[in-house]
């Protein structure tokens, strides 16, 4: 199949959506499909990958995220491009201006199309002081995804939520984690020494965008509570974002490592001890799976990946959404009990062993193939009417 993928974020950008879309594109290419990737032009040159052809279109800098871009409308460019090289099916991963114009172009040309619901933009409005816009954002997302033949979501809970919003064709496409990359064997005592900790010192880890929607105030508050019980505890932050500078200035005892990739990222996960994740704005939260695979017990709210993969009291603690006191109490209890950290960490790693990236790619392939076949059958029925 020739498969079009439209995304306003993609590596070398580092975020959950970019990495998820890349894994889908690379996985399909590895199975012999031709991938037609449409994305905004970036300052950094992209790396050529076998089976993935890239069309770069105009974009703009995302406000407050200078390292990220959004795509500008490109309907005419897309229609011309797809007229020359028509995809069998298209996946629109993001809901920005480029995604919207791709949706309209595909509908106009009769190309079967699916969309992805990766980011809770409707919940972001409150975090950026424009909560009054939440109903408008939610209405836009509803209109956008109702135009797709299928909207892919990572959890059944999110599928049900979208159906309640009127997006009737929400379909489950589970996430996976590379358990070869994220593994306890990457624990690095030399790295821990650079952090200034010994074997008995608990290291709390944060991985992700350092941004307001990640509930950073609770993360900081919780670590300060840990420090009251375990004065030597350290907090390591992996990532970057608009709140990093202010957070770093206010907390000079925190360790900020910037963005990490590949084996370096694997070592940061495995060399820490626990992973409290305070965000309430995730559609999924890939970092939860990565932390569990690396052998870190996780404390998180019962949303997204936590609802699907955290077993309360076994591989971490799954907290009722919004209960900040319970979140802090569970994290402090875990951080102050080295034996519990080790016990839950083993369960965390073992619980990820059956999450196969290959199975996810096969499911994605099947869904796109079915969409293409449904469109072909629909065309045949109309032509014989």
Q: Over 90: is that where the pLDDT of 66 sits?
A: no
> How many Å apart are CA 118 and CA 104, to the nearest integer?
20
Find the mean pLDDT for residues 336-343: 97
Pairing of strands 255-258, 234-238: parallel
Inform me whether the pLDDT recorded for 125 exceeds 70.
Answer: no
Write out the residue limits of the CATH 3.40.50.2000 domain(s) in the chain: 2-176+356-383, 184-351
pLDDT over threshold 60, residue 48: yes
What is the model's pTM?
Answer: 0.83
Q: What angle separates helix 16-30 from helix 357-383, to the nearest 10 degrees?
A: 70
Percent of the chain with pLDDT over 70: 91
Position 59 pLDDT exceeds 50? yes
Residue ranges in the chain assigned as alpha helix (H): 16-30, 75-84, 97-109, 121-127, 134-146, 156-165, 189-194, 216-229, 244-250, 262-271, 286-293, 304-309, 324-335, 338-351, 357-383
- Give the pLDDT score at 290: 96
Cα torsion through 345, 298, 182, 124, rounded to 10? 180
Other beta carbons less than 10 A from residue 366's beta carbon:
10
pLDDT score at 385: 44
Q: Is pLDDT of 128 > 80?
A: no
What pLDDT band is residue 163 in, cutting at 50, 70 and 90?
very high
Task: Give the architecture (CATH level 2) of 184-351.
Answer: 3-Layer(aba) Sandwich (3.40)
344 pLDDT above the threshold of 50: yes
Rounded to an integer, what distance in angstroms lies between the CA atom of residue 322 and that of residue 327?
Answer: 9
Domain 2-176+356-383: give its CATH superfamily.
Glycogen Phosphorylase B; (3.40.50.2000)
- Give percent of the chain with pLDDT exceeding 90: 71
Q: How confident is the model at residue 43 (pLDDT cuts 50, 70, 90)?
A: confident
Burial pattern 270-309, b for ≥16 Cβ within 10 A else e, equals bbbbbbbbbbbbbbbbbbbbbbbbbbbbbbbbbbbbbbbb
> Looking at residue 127, what is its pLDDT?
46
**Distance between CA atoms of 173 and 170, rounded to whole angstroms?**
10
As a whole number of Å, the end-to-end CA separation of the chain is 28
Instruction: Tell me the pLDDT tens digit for each residue of 139-157.
Output: 898 999 999 999 999 888 8
Tokens 């079009």 belong to residue: 4
Residue 340: pLDDT over 90: yes
Beta-carbon count within 10 A of 215 CB = 20
What are 283-334's pLDDT values in tens digits? 788 999 999 999 999 999 998 889 989 999 999 999 999 999 999 999 999 9
């Amino acid at each position: 199949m020739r498969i079009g993928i439209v995304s306003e974020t993609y590596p070398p950008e580092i975020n959950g959506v970019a990495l998820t879309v890349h894994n889908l594109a690379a996985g399909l290419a590895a199975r012999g499909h031709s991938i037609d990737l449409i994305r905004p032009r970036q300052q950094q040159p992209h790396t050529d990958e076998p089976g993935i052809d890239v069309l770069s279109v105009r974009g703009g800098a995302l406000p407050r995220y200078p390292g990220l871009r959004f795509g500008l409308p490109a309907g005419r460019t897309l229609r011309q491009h797809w007229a020359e090289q028509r995809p069998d099916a298209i996946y629109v991963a993001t809901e920005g201006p480029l995604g919207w114009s791709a949706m309209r172009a595909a509908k106009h040309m009769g190309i079967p199309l699916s969309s992805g619901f990766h980011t809770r933009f409707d919940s972001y409005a409150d975090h950026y002081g424009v909560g009054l816009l939440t109903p408008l954002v939610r209405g836009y997302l509803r209109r956008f995804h109702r135009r797709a033949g299928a909207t892919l979501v990572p959890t059944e809970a999110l599928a049900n939520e979208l159906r309640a919003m009127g997006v009737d064709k929400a379909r489950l496409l589970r996430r996976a984690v590379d358990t070869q990359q994220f593994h306890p064997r990457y624990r690095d005592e030399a790295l821990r020494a650079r952090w200034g900790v010994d074997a008995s010192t608990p290291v709390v880890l944060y991985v992700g965008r350092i941004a307001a929607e990640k509930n950073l105030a609770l993360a900081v508050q919780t670590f300060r509570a840990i420090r009251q019980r375990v004065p030597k505890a350290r907090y390591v932050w992996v990532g970057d974002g608009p709140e990093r500078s202010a957070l770093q200035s206010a907390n000079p005892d925190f360790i900020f490592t910037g963005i990490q990739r590949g084996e370096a990222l694997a070592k940061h996960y495995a060399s820490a001890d626990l992973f409290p994740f305070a965000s309430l704005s995730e559609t999924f939260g890939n970092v939860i799976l990565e932390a569990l695979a690396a052998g870190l017990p996780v404390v998180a709210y019962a949303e997204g990946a936590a609802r699907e993969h955290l077993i309360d009291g076994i591989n971490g603690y799954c907290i009722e959404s919004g209960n900040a006191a319970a979140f802090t109490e569970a994290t402090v209890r875990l951080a102050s009990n080295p034996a519990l950290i080790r016990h839950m960490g083993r369960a965390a790693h073992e619980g990820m062993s059956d999450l196969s990236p290959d199975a996810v790619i096969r499911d994605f392939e099947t869904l796109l193939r079915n969409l293409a076949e449904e469109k072909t059958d629909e065309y045949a029925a109309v032509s014989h009417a």
